[in-house]
Amino acid sequence: MIRFLLTRGHGYTLRRVKRSRQSPPISLMHYDRLIRARWLRRGTYVFTDLDRLSHWDLELAAELYLQLQKAGVRVWNNPARAKSRYPLLRALHAAGLNDFNAYRAHETGSVARFPVFLRKIHGHRQPVSDLLATRAEMEKAIDMAVAGGTPAENLLVVEFAAEPVRPGVYRKLSAYRIGPAIVPHVCVHDTSWLVKYGKLGVAGEELYREELAFLQTNPFADHLRMAFDLADIEYGRADFGFYRGRIQVYEINTNPALEPPLPHPSPVRVESIRLAWEKFLQALRAIDSPGGWPIRLADGKLKPHRVWKNLFVRSRKVP
């Protein structure tokens, strides 16, 4: 059994995986329920959605991680160690793995190069701004975002580091880490620098063949493993691209969505999607753990919070 711990409203990321006959037994559990629990079944526990937890719930999740680890349970993603977006991007740049840097809104005097763009530190929505070419444009965009209700503490200035894979086409690559395995995934292609959902038909067969070669050979595994290690994340998906011939890791999502193979007009792409799906499920089966006697959880910090959660608090969905 593999139990994924996640925030309310975000179980959609794994529902298709859970229903697959090739998948090991999977259970989805909200942190609300986890924090109120007094007994937990044995199995593999994967802590996800860490960037959506409040600082207090993150600390409680970290205590539960340690209790499970002490009980001999296989656990992934220590909430006390896993880096969220801002510290991760800073660490990747400091380690020389990324050529671009990121800054909080009050650190804009340190921005080294332009263009930049604004995004929120927490959550997974689209950036707050388009590309900003000058310091004046950046400061104006920050002022407008704050005036519009976005707290300055939740604003991140990110140096732009991407380039088209061919004229007019940008590509975002992805790879999962599932325990010890780095599993490549299919690419997303778009005509905009902001490659999020992609556009059908813009890539063409040449790029699809290159994508299939990536999935077959996994050439970026060593570099990505260094990024995951630096992030202290053992389960998640890294989104990355290339800038001046070097890999740039844009973020690591601890609760990434995965869809089963879907129809596509390109036979090459169909094979890539099938291969990515099979490799993901194979790696998932490798971290599965058998059940056993339930684990009794100690009270510690949890006792007063269990009462509070039971009586008053229900977490809401965080985008």
Residue 62 pLDDT grade (very low, low, confident, very high; cuts 50, 70, 90): very high
Asked whether residue 299 carries a pLDDT value surpassing 90, the answer given is no
What is the reported pLDDT for 32? 85
In terms of C-beta density within 10 A (0-12 exposed, 13-18 middle, 19 or more buried), how is residue 206 classed?
A: exposed
Q: What is the pLDDT of residue 56?
A: 83
Q: Share the mean pLDDT of the chain.
A: 91
Q: pLDDT confidence of 304, banded at 50, 70, 90?
A: low
DSSP H or E segment with residue 246? strand 246-253
Cα separation, 70 vs 49, in Å, equals 22
State how far Cα 125 lies from the chain centre. 13
Mean pLDDT of 248-262: 90
Report DSSP letters for 196-230, one per residue.
SS--TTSS-HHHHHHHHHHHHH-TTHHHHHHHHHH
Report all structural domains of the chain as residue ranges with CATH numbers, in order of start. Answer: 2-82+288-311 (no CATH), 101-159 (3.30.1490.20), 170-286 (3.30.470)
Which distant-in-sequence residues (6+ apart) come within 8 Å of 11 by Cβ? 28, 30
In this prediction, residue 307 carries a pLDDT of: 54
Residue 268: its pLDDT value, please? 95
How much is the average pLDDT of 67-82?
A: 96
- pLDDT score of 311: 44
Between strands 116-120 and 102-104, the pairing is: unpaired
**Could you give the percent of the chain with pLDDT greater than 70?**
94
Please indicate whether residue 195 or residue 287 has the higher confidence score (pLDDT).
287
The whole-angstrom separation of Cα 243 and Cα 306 is 48
User: Does residue 236 or residue 33 have the better pLDDT?
Assistant: 236
Q: Find the mean pLDDT for residues 52-64.
A: 89
- Is the peptide bond preceding residue 115 cis, with omega within 30 degrees of 0? yes
Residue 260 is predicted with a pLDDT of 81
Average pLDDT over residues 67-84: 96
Instruction: Please name every residue paired with 296 in a beta bridge, in sequence order, or none if there are none.
Output: 39
Mean pLDDT of 180-204: 90
pLDDT surpasses 70 at 309: no
Q: Is the pLDDT of residue 134 over 80?
A: yes
At 221, the pLDDT band (50, 70, 90 cuts) reads: very high
Picking from 243, 134, 239, 153, the residue whose alpha carbon sits closest to that of residue 196 is 239
Percentage of residues of the chain with pLDDT beyond 90: 75
